[in-house]
Structure 1
Amino acid sequence: MPEEIPVVQLVGPGGAGKTTVGLELAQRLDWAFVDLDREFMSREGDIAGCIAAHGYAGYARRNLALHIDTSSVFTVPTVYALSSGFMTYPTDLDVRYAQIRSEVERNALTVLLLPSFELEPCVEAIVQRQLSRPYLPGNRASEEARIRQRFPVFMALRCVRFLNDGTPEEVASQIADFVRERMEETTR
Structure 2
Amino acid sequence: MHTAAPHFVVHLVGPGGAGKTTAGPLLAGRLGWRFVDLDREFIAREGDVAAYMAVHGYAGYAQRNVAVYREAMNARSAPTVFALSSGFMTYGATTEAQYAVLRQAIEHGALTALLLPSFDLETCVEAIVQRQLARPYLSGNRANEEARIRERFPAFMALQCARFDSSEAPRELAMRIEQFVRARCAA
Q: Is the pair's TM-score, using the shorter chain for normalization, greater than 0.5? A: yes
Match for residue 109 of structure 1 among 86, 111, 120: 111
Equivalent of 2:40, from 38, 41, 58?
Answer: 38
Percent identity over paired residues: 61
Write the distance in 1 (CA, Å) between the matches of 2:56 and 2:92: 16
Alignment: residue pair count: 183
- Give distance in 1, aligned partners of 2:79 and 2:182: 12
> Which of 10, 14, 17 is equivalent to 1:15?
17
Structure 1: which 5+ residue stretches go unaligned?
none
Provide the TM-score with structure 2 as the length reference: 0.96
Residue number in structure 1 paired with 2:55? 53
CA distance in 2, matches of 1:100, 1:182: 21
Amino acid at match of 2:7: I
- Counterpart secondary structure, 1:79: strand
Q: 1:4 to 1:24 in 2, by over 3 A?
A: closer
Q: Residues 133 and 15 (structure 1 numbering): CA distance in 2 closer, same or farther, change over 3 Å?
A: same
Q: Comparing 159-168 with 67-76, which one deviates more in the overlay?
A: 67-76
After alignment, is 141-150 or 90-99 more displaced?
90-99
Q: How far did 1:73 drift?
A: 2.1
C-alpha separation in 1, matches of 2:45 and 2:130 = 29
**Structure 1 vs Structure 2 CA RMSD:** 0.8
State the distance in 2 between where 1:68 and 1:173 align: 28
The amino acid across from 2:101 in the alignment is Q
Runs of 4+ with deviation above 3 angstroms: none
Which amino acid in 2 is paired with 1:181? Answer: A
Match 2:170 to one of 168, 171, 181: 168
Partner of 2:122: 120
Determine the structure 1 residue equivalent to 2:160: 158
Partner SS, residue 81 of structure 2: strand
Give the corresponding residue for 1:84: 86
Residues 6-26 of structure 1, C-alpha deviations (whole Å, 9 max, x = no match): 110000000001000001000
Counterpart residue type for residue 16 of structure 1: A
Q: Distance in 1 between matches of 2:48 and 2:130?
A: 22
Aligned in 2, Cα 1:4/1:27: closer, same or farther, shift over 3 Å? closer
Q: Could you state the TM-score of these two structures normalised by the residue count of structure 1?
A: 0.96
